[in-house]
Amino acid sequence: MEVLNIFQGKKKKAILHINVSTFEQFKAGIEAVKESKIPLIIGVSEGERKFWGINYFEDLIDEAKERGIKVYSNADHTKNIKKAYEAIDYDFDFVLFDGSELSFKKNILITQKVVNYRNKNNKKSLIEGELGYLTGHSDIENTIELKEEYFTSPDLAKEFVDQTKVDLLAISVGNVHGIPQKIKFKNKEFKKITLNFNLIKEIKNKVNLPLVLHGGSGLTKKDFIKAINNGISIIHINTEFRKIWKEELSKLIKEKTVIPYKILDKIIEKLKRKIILYQRLFYYV
Ligand SMILES: [Zn+2]
């Protein structure tokens, strides 16, 4: 699919992936792409799809595409195989089948099924697999414990990709979902995530496909640039945008007006500015 061409050139770059559960978040994404002219992946998890109604969400994406806006849909963290099939039927651009909580063998087996379903039905969805465990939720978290055994093994990644024929791979290299106040790792406490950049490079050398970094919230500009230079092609940022949405809404809701768009417009603008900032950082590394 054309979106993969973005990663073909010599110049290293990555695309931002945001999650949306409200129309403000969606509109902020669309407005950002209109201004930045940089592609954006808009993802919806199983929970977010249920909240939107999968058909409404895909209609919005299709409408934007028809107007020439470079947005791509992703069925994020799909753990139920039927939900993965459903997203493929709805022509999502990307479907992440997340078998990271399953055994290695079972993860391969079910991911293979998802790829086969796409092939058998001549569908266009690119399939992302996930190997290694990503701890945390896309929320403000207290303490998150990170273990080395969660990290993606380069050799297993190679085996996983060879066997499943996925188009993209989500990896665990020290990244976590959400914004934790504290990280526990090897019996020590840290305030901030430290990514294993060498591991990204090792995995990239073994599997020649776009690697996806989930849990970008809270990482620094330097972290992002290093991650991209070592082989990351898509970066998910979710909690940081959720935080902006809530903080702005909490402030603005106190205004006297009861007209929703007068409140929500300001949230959209704030989100849009931040989306563009990351888009430019990732795209023009
Ligand atoms: Zn994720």
> Cα(80)–Cα(46) distance, rounded to whole angstroms?
9
- The CATH number that domain 2-283 falls under is 3.20.20.70
> Cα(226)–Cα(209) distance, rounded to whole angstroms?
18
Q: How far is the CA of 177 from the centre of ligand 1 (A)?
A: 6
> Which pLDDT belongs to residue 187?
86
**What integer is the mean pLDDT of 182-197?**
89
What residues are paired with 212 via a beta bridge? 170, 234
Q: Cβ neighbours of residue 273 under 8 Å, at least 6 residues apart?
A: none
Query: In this structure, are residues 13 and 285 in contact, taking their beta carbons and an 8 Å threshold?
Result: yes
Q: How far is the CA of 36 from the centre of ligand 1 (A)?
A: 24
| End-to-end C-alpha distance for the chain, whole angstroms | 23
> Which pLDDT belongs to residue 1?
65
Q: How far is the CA of 254 from the centre of ligand 1 (A)?
A: 33
| DSSP code of residue 150 | G
Q: How far is the CA of 176 from the centre of ligand 1 (A)?
A: 8
With a cut of 80, say whether residue 2 has pLDDT above it: no
With a cut of 90, say whether residue 52 has pLDDT above it: yes
> Which pLDDT belongs to residue 162?
98
For 122-167, what is each residue's pLDDT tens digit?
999 999 999 998 888 888 888 888 888 999 999 999 999 999 999 9
> Which pLDDT belongs to residue 138?
87
Q: How far is the CA of 266 from the centre of ligand 1 (A)?
A: 27
Q: How far is the CA of 63 from the centre of ligand 1 (A)?
A: 25
What residues are paired with 94 via a beta bridge? 74, 126
What residues are paired with 140 via a beta bridge? 179
| Residue of higher predicted confidence among 146 and 88 | 88
| Residue of higher predicted confidence among 194 and 2 | 194
Global confidence as pTM? 0.96
With a cut of 90, say whether residue 190 has pLDDT above it: no
**What ranges do the domains of the chain cover?**
2-283
What residues are paired with 235 via a beta bridge? 16, 213
Q: Name the pLDDT band for 59 (thresholds 50, 70, 90).
A: very high
> Cα(205)–Cα(194) distance, rounded to whole angstroms?
21
Q: How far is the CA of 262 from the centre of ligand 1 (A)?
A: 32
Q: Name the pLDDT band for 226 (thresholds 50, 70, 90).
A: very high
> Which pLDDT belongs to residue 6?
81
Q: How far is the CA of 15 from the centre of ligand 1 (A)?
A: 14
What are the φ/ψ torsions at residue 279 (nearest 5 degrees)?
A: -55, -45
Give all strands (DSSP E) within the chain, no chain letters. 15-19, 40-44, 71-78, 94-97, 126-131, 140-146, 168-171, 179-185, 188-190, 211-213, 232-237
Q: How far is the CA of 175 from the centre of ligand 1 (A)?
A: 10
> Cα(56)–Cα(97) distance, rounded to whole angstroms?
21
Q: Cβ neighbours of residue 172 under 8 Å, at least 6 residues apart?
A: 100, 131, 132, 133, 134, 150, 151, 152
Q: Which protein residues have a CB closer than 5 Å to ligand 1 (ion)? A: 214
